[in-house]
Homo-oligomer: A and B are copies of this chain.
């Protein structure tokens, strides 16, 4: 069994993911939003790689059943119903709805990896649920750290490291790539206090400067959800065994 972590998805061709088992991480905040929305009863999340397509897609669906969500530079996009804060995705608002989601990094990474055989969405919120399922699957794993505008993302890497360490407990023959090894080591140093790690990270500081400190608190709640989001066709849904 092999585990690789991709710090820079923009350099990887989309066909690379064909037949692979892939995990997309964008802790701050797309993968936390997707986990939360599905946990709160959203029917599906349709990730899109550009704003124009999001608007076009939502226009073609039944108005009341679809919500447009997403951000540019941390802020809600004009005309969109929802931003990219998981706190907005409450049961009252999202239950039963299809959500078309555009974010700067996370949904682009999902779109890039769409040819994967299995594509799961992981955040700190649902980390053990994803780890448990990957242990059952017993396949080679590609973990994408969606990062921030192609920069290295500490928070996504720590989440990847924590996911790998949980999977590693179940096997004794995993072959780690350099980036997977690095993620494991970094996780040992930084995962003791996830909220503090967020606050010291580049992306966390930007979110705090823009008034999203409550999002950092919410996104640091490790294993607060058992949701297992999986890409099915062009939508992310809850995995059903």
Q: Are B8 and A150 in contact (CB under 8 A)?
A: yes
Interface pick from A35-43, A80-88, A109-117, A182-190 = A182-190
Q: Are B201 and A178 in contact (CB under 8 A)?
A: yes
Chain B residues lying within 8 Å of A189, measured Cβ to Cβ, are 185
Name A7's contact: one of B7, B12, B190, B203 (CB within 8 Å). Answer: B7
Dominant secondary structure at the A interface: helix
Chain B residues lying within 8 Å of A22, measured Cβ to Cβ, are none
Query: Copies per complex?
Result: 2
Interface pick from A132-140, A152-160, A166-174, A220-228 = A152-160
Query: Which partner residue on chain B sits nearest A157 by CB separation?
Result: B182
A19 within 8 A of B: no
A18 within 8 A of B: no
Q: Are B177 and A202 in contact (CB under 8 A)?
A: yes
Query: Which partner residue on chain B sits nearest A11 by CB separation?
Result: B150
- Min CB–CB distance A122 → chain B (angstroms): 19
Which residues between 174 and 222 of chain A lie within 8 Å of chain B, taking CB atoms? 177-179, 181-182, 185-186, 189-190, 201-203
Can you list 10 A-B contacts with CB-CB less than 8 angstroms, sorted by A residue number? Answer: A7-B7, A8-B10, A8-B150, A151-B179, A152-B177, A152-B179, A153-B178, A157-B182, A185-B190, A186-B186
Contact residues of A with B, CB < 8 Å? Answer: 5, 7-8, 10-12, 150-154, 157, 177-179, 181-182, 185-186, 189-190, 201-203
Listed from nearest, the 9 A-B pairs whose CB atoms lie closest are A8-B8, A154-B178, A11-B150, A152-B179, A185-B189, A178-B202, A7-B152, A10-B11, A182-B186
